[in-house]
Amino acid sequence: MKRALSKYLFFCLFLTVSSGLSAQTTSFKSAFDTLSIQEQFDFLYKRSNTYEQYKVMSISGYMDLKANLIDSVSMYQQDANSHIQEINTLKENLIATNTQIEKLEKELNDTKNSKDSMSLLGIEVSKASYNAIMWGLIIGLAVVALVLFSLYKRGHQVVKETKTRLGEVQEDLESLRKNALVREQKLARELMDYKLKHKPNR
């Protein structure tokens, strides 16, 4: 009878402890779901039994806390990896942007240099030098044109004077020819008269 009573009491104690552990496990899980990591440590510390200078914690509470810590660390690790990936992406974008900026700056400098320089006979010269050369050529051509115009004008004047003198000479020659013809005709008449006067009579 005593043995049966002992078994019954042990069974009741086992059910009580099991129910307590189950309830404690459920309370740990439900509490940990709403608490931070620090608060979970504090909660487990308060719910643990004290033995001399030690704390005897529940295995289920420890396992729940461990699982939560692992999940939190994993989540933080994922967040860290995500942030690292974002940082790497930003670095790549920054490098690409800097490369594009350098390319644009080079193109801008090339454009400025091309605007400030001109090609003359296949030789790149500055715009100022090009303008100086062009103005020098224009002034030189203008001087040559003035000299040629002056020579042309002088030659035209010489030709005009020569034509005038030639006309005068031709007029003089014509006058001399007419005078010579008149004189020749006069001499011919005089000769004819002389012959008629001195013709012997028969």
Torsion of Cα atoms, 8 then 12 then 14 then 17, to 10°? -160
191, pLDDT greater than 80? yes
State residue 95's pLDDT score. 92
State residue 18's pLDDT score. 38
The alpha carbon of 78 is separated from its chain's Cα centroid by a whole number of angstroms, namely 40
- The mean of the pLDDT values for the chain is 77
Q: Quickly count: other Cβ atoms within 10 Å of residue 40's Cβ.
A: 21
Q: What is the pLDDT of residues 27-86, one digit of tens each?
A: 666 777 777 778 888 887 888 888 778 877 778 778 887 888 888 888 888 888 888 988
124, pLDDT greater than 80? no
Contact 97, 90 (CB under 8 A): no
123, pLDDT greater than 80? no
Contact 130, 120 (CB under 8 A): yes
Please tell me the pTM assigned to this model.
0.38
Cα distance between residue 96 and residue 8, in whole Å: 79
